[in-house]
Structure 1
Amino acid sequence: MDNQDVLFRSFTLGDMTLRNRIIMAPLTRSRAAQTGDIPTDINAEYYRQRAGAGLIIAEATQVSPQGKGYAFTPGIHSENQVAGWHKVTTAVHKAGGRIHLQLWHVGRISHPELQPNGETPVAPSAIKPQGAQTFISADSGMVDVPEPRALATDEIPSIIDQFRQGAENAKRAGFDGVEIHAANGYLLDQFLRSESNQRTDAYGGSLESRLRLPLEVVNAVVDVWGTERTGIRVSPTGSFNDMRDTDPVETYGTFAKHLNEIGIAYIEVVEDSFQGNLEKGRPQAVIDAIRSNFKRAYIGNGHYTDSEARQRVEEGLCDLASFGRPFIANPDLPARFRHNAPLNEWDSSTFYGGDERGYTDYPALNAEQ
């Protein structure tokens, strides 16, 4: 493709100019150090290889020990974790890339063996997600998550503080901005959706009450980063981790309106998930509700090919497109899109955990040539 290719037109995201509209989606890979959940040199190399993206959104990263839901996922709550992430951001910046960190609290998708002092995972309501699983060690395999306990109202400020501290630590680690994880059945998503939030206090019941915690978290993160370097991810019709909402058009259209009033830089929308979706194909009514209420950048995500991404950007259905699994197998994905080169196939058996195999050893186009 030539330089007029819409995916290679620059884009102003917040106050950053991106060199292309190809975004690397946040991808859990479970390759942090087994002790301390610390990013290491292999993580720095992995992200450096993918610095050709217009923006890398780094993998979901727990903002506190309570926020952890899977073995070997990185954190951003200790000094060693900050130092480990600094290796990553330095490597990406030296390669000419931009990188945001995704701030994460899993809520009920955890297990006592992953929680401080073996505590029960927390959630808006004490509702066990049917079929939801996690893994707690290299040898455990997938295990069911237990019934969580409902957060007390007076515990909510501590959740907000965890996100605020995570945002501050991400800044010290050298990131260019942050994305708040409010998707895929994790804590903020659990508060957003009607089926997982059965509270009767100020944080549940009505739609405005369900939106309260996610919006308070957004405001806390904006206090640290400003609106221009803050984004959010949502999955309005994703069913992963036993999630559903009685009226996603109203829920996410209203949420988008509030986010627009705050003025954050972007919203990344998981339109169609390989992990499960309640609607077949793209939920256009929900997408339209978000687009009509949120006037800043819209990042579309979910099973995009490069040709579909071009078409949707040209038609104004999204401003940028994020790619997940294609970036796993193709560290130079933008170059392959530009030259219409064949893509490496991913090996799903190496997605989570392990070493460099299926992580940093996928060949780049130059090496293949």
Structure 2
Amino acid sequence: MEDQEKDQIPLSTPYKMGNFQLAHRIVLAPLTRCRSYDSIPQSHAILYYSQRTTKGGFLISEATCISSAAQGFKDAPGIWSKVHIEAWKPIVDAVHAKGGVFFCQLWHPGRASDQSFEPNAGQPPVSSTDKQCSPVVENDGEVTFNFLPPLKLKTDEVSLVANDYRIAARNAIEAGFDGVEIHGAHGYLIDQFLKDQVNDRTDKYGGSLENRCRFALEVVESIANEIGADRVGIRLSPFADYMDSEDSNPEGLGLHMAKSLNKYGILYCHMVEPRMKQVEERSEFSISLRPMRRAFNGTFIAAGGYKRDDGNTAITEEHADLIAYGRLFLANPDLPKRFELHAQLNKYDRKTFYTTDPVVGYTDYPFLEKM
């Protein structure tokens, strides 16, 4: 392709996130890829993540299961055992070799899991509730996930799950990750406690806004105490309705969490735009996250359908410090360079998002210099 001059756009400006000096504001969002066979990260992930690494770039791993009882997708990676730690090490090393900053996203799907993934055959997954999650139905009407009623965690069992997060965080650091992101979004376990449409508890983890946020904040505190608050981030989606998880006052929920997180001094808060309900895609960004951004003292990351131009606008107008890109980064391993050059983007192929193929739709998207 013809030579193009670089454009110093807001997204390509440097940023200091705690102890990490980032070269630009473009973050690889956590993206489930279903290529960690039997929960073990594979060698092909070395190429996948290193392709998307730039010096001073920030990457967040795909959702990574914190325990054998926390598996939500077939062939999603784990971080609960020594085998997982050792499998992640060469992947993390490859990112570090190119100068990237790499965080591991810690995930428990809660009721949004199939019984076949549970370690004890036939035992339902756990949740804040015993209410069943609606099936996941694709646009063509095909049911891809059909969930059964979960087991409601007893009050004294909730802290045991929080401890699983703590151990997983410790394991992630042992594997070489620079930090962890707690997955508190999109209808998974933590979100099942946060949202009043799901949480029907009458104990200290249910009812009031403060009680519904208690579990999330206990997880944050436990992990911060284990690995240091300067290595901890959290992802939240107060406005989302994924997996039947909706709240009657998402603005209040998001603002309460943003303010409460300041007590623990964590590194960043990563929030999903309200426009991202189900599979809706829009190019403009909203201002609905602005109160949360102003309330939170650390780095604020925004995600949800961003393109190049509205990402630049979001940085310029201080809507966020960093912008997370998912599908565009999946299909364009050199996305920061393409944005700088205002170059054409590869189109992503949804049909290959969640296959088990180690190459197709995974590491075969072309770079600019190969076009």
TM-score normalized with structure 2 length: 0.93
**Which residue pairs with 1:340 in the alignment?**
342
Tell me if structure 2 keeps the 8 A contact 1:29–1:73. yes
What's the offset of the Cα at 1:284?
4.7
Structure 2 residue runs of 5 or longer lacking an equivalent are none
Letter in structure 2 aligned against 1:122:
V
Pick aligned residue for 2:77 from 74, 79, 88: 74
Q: Helix, strand or coil for the counterpart of 1:241?
A: helix
Going from structure 1 to structure 2, the CA distance change for 1:282 and 1:8 (only over 3 Å counts) comes to closer
User: Partners in 2 of 1:287 and 1:296 — Cα distance?
Assistant: 14
Q: Could you tell me which residue of structure 2 aligns to residue 30 of structure 1? A: 34
User: Is contact 2:20–2:101 with CA below 8 Å preserved after alignment?
Assistant: no
Alpha-carbon offset, residue 4 of structure 1: 3.5
Question: Does the 8 Å CA contact 2:126/2:150 hold for their aligned counterparts?
Answer: yes
Percent of aligned pairs sharing the same letter: 39
2:51 is aligned to 49
Residue 155 (structure 1) aligns with? 157
Aligned partner of 1:301 in structure 2 is: 303
CA RMSD of aligned residues (A): 2.1
The structure-2 alpha-carbon separation of the partners of 1:8 and 1:143, relative to structure 1 and needing over 3 Å to count, comes to: closer
Structure 1 consecutive aligned stretches of length 4 or more whose deviation exceeds 4 Å: 272-275, 277-286
The change in CA–CA distance for 1:346 and 1:235 in structure 2 (over 3 A counts) is same
Moved more, 99-108 or 295-304: 295-304
Residue 200 (structure 1) shift: 0.4
- Residue 330 of structure 2 aligns to a residue whose secondary structure is helix
Conserved? CA contact 1:121–1:149, under 8 Å: yes
Other structure's SS at 2:166 match? helix
Q: Distance in 1 between matches of 2:167 and 2:29?
A: 23
Residues 351 and 337 (structure 1), Cα distance of their counterparts in 2 relative to 1, 3 Å cut: same
Q: Partners of 1:273 and 1:200 in 2: how far apart?
A: 31
Aligned to 1:358: 361
| C-alpha contact 1:270 1:300 (8 A) present in aligned 2 | yes
Correspondence 1:248-267 to 2 at 5 A: 248-267=250-269
Distance 1:282 1:2, change over 3 A: closer
1:23 and 1:280 map into 2 onto residues whose CA distance is 19
Q: How far does residue 226 in structure 1 lie from its aligned partner after superposition? A: 1.3
Q: Please say which of residues 3-12 and 66-75 is displaced more in the overlay.
A: 3-12
In 1, distance between residues paired with 2:85 and 2:152? 30
Residues 125 and 150, structure 1, Cα contact 8 Å, conserved in 2: yes
Structure 1 Cα separation of the partners of residues 345 and 8 of structure 2: 22
- In structure 2, the CA distance between the partners of 1:167 and 1:65, relative to structure 1 (3 Å rule), is same
Candidates 18, 23, 26, aligned match of 2:22: 18
Q: State the match for 1:7 in structure 2.
A: 11
Give the distance between the partners of 1:154 and 1:298, measured in 2 at CA. Answer: 33
Q: Are the counterparts in 2 of residues 329 and 345 from structure 1 also a CA contact under 8 Å?
A: yes
State the 1:146 CA deviation.
Answer: 0.9
CA displacement 1:242-283 (0-9 Å, x = unmatched):
111011111110111010221111111110565617999889
